[in-house]
Chains A and B, each alone.
Chain A
Amino acid sequence: DTGVSQDPRHKITKRGQNVTFRCDPISEHNRLYWYRQTLGQGPEFLTYFQNEAQLEKSRLLSDRFSAERPKGSFSTLEIQRTEQGDSAMYLCASSFFTGNEKLFFGSGTQLSVL
């Protein structure tokens, strides 16, 4: 299966710790997105990359969040000094942009901050 893969699937951490998630997109896709989803809500856009360039960041992405896509392939999302409000599912998606955004999602990383 060459879909979007995310690692880890689950992460439990203590408040104040740093966490890093990884996303491997579909190989030929040039765009990569990070979304956050809380229980009972739809995914909320955080940021996206076109190749290695980070082109847009949501106001939801506080200074404690940083994302990279150094070689235009996989991406990492780091959260520093985690807070309980960061507990959510972090979804990665990719697309081959052709004028509309049909995104292919991974299974997500479920973060629990204790």
Chain B
Amino acid sequence: GESVGLHLPTLSVQEGDNSIINCAYSNSASDYFIWYKQESGKGPQFIIDIRSNMDKRQGQRVTVLLNKTVKHLSLQIAATQPGDSAVYFCAEGGANNLFFGTGTRLTVIP
């Protein structure tokens, strides 16, 4: 999962398996959360978002789960593909911007 620090957490999964990337956020007052995917040399790309009045939201092959009690967010990727290999960031919405975590590097093994 994500954490503050110098080392990027990593996750390796077999192609076709499901991936779960975890994130702990700090501000209990945050009401908006978002996941981004960043490939090497590119900017972050939006994946899915969720507001605090929800605890689950599904997209295409992705699901975000929000547990406000423990301030935890997770991203589930179904049937992980080689193209999913990237760094994944969670971010929490502030009043006027986003605060990003350190990121998790997902490697898909063919």
Interface residues of chain A, those whose CB is within 8 Å of chain B, are 4, 33, 40-45, 48, 55-56, 91, 93, 100-108
Contacts and interface: CB of A to CB of B under 8 A. Distances in A.
B43 A108 contact: yes
B102 A101 contact: no
Interface of B: 6-8, 32, 34, 36, 41-46, 49, 51, 89, 91, 93-94, 96-103
7 contacts: A40-B6, A48-B97, A100-B32, A100-B93, A102-B34, A103-B46, A107-B41
Contacts of A44: 100
Contacts of B42: 107-108
A40 to B, nearest CB: 5
A91 B45 CA distance: 12
Nearest to B8: A40
Given A42-B91, A42-B100, A45-B97, A100 B51 contact: yes
Contacts of B91: 42
Mostly helix, strand, loop or mixed at chain A's interface? loop
B38 to A, nearest CB: 9
A40 B102 CA distance: 7
Contacts of A91: 43-44
Q: Which of A4, A44, A55, A101 has the most CB of B within 10 A?
A: A101
Contacts of B41: 107
A101 B97 contact: yes
Nearest to B2: A42
A16 to B, nearest CB: 27
Given A40-B6, A40-B7, A42-B89, A101 B44 contact: no
Contacts of A107: 41-43
B26 to A, nearest CB: 13
B102 A41 contact: yes
